A and B are shown apart, each in its own frame.
Chain A
Amino acid sequence: MKVQVNVNGVAYARDVEPRTLLAYFLREDCGLTGTHVGCDTSSCGCCVVVMDGTRAVKSCTMFAAQADGHEILTVEGLAEGGKLHALQQGFWDQHGLQCGYCTPGMLLTSYVLLKHQPNPSEADIREGLAGNLCRCTGYQNIVKAVQQAAGTLGQPAVTNA
Chain B
Amino acid sequence: MSDLQTLSAQLIDLARKAGAHSADALSVADVSDAIRVRHGVVESVEHEDSRGIGLRAFVEKKEDGKHGLAFASASTSDISAAGLKRLVEQVMVMARISEADPDAMPPVGAVHPDARQMTEWQKHHPCPDSAWSIEAARDAALACESAALGYSDKISNSEGAESGFGSMSVAYASSDGFAAAYDKTSASLSVSVIAGKNDAMQRDYAWDRQLSSTTLRKPQDIGREAAERTVKRLGAGGLNSGSMPVVFEPRVATSLLGHLSSAVNGRAVLQQRSFLGDSLEQSIFPEFISIADDPDHPDGLGNRLFDGEGSRCSRLQLIDQGRLTAFLTDRYAAGRLKTTPGGHARRGLTGDIGIGSSNLVMQAGPLSRQEMLHEIGNGLLVCELIGFGINGVTGDYSRGASGFLIENGEITRPVQEITIAGNLRDMFRGIRHVGSDLTWFGSVAVPSMAIDGITVAGQA
Q: Do A and B come from one complex?
A: no
B residues contacting A by CB (< 8 A) are: none
Report which A residues bind B (CB closer than 8 A). none
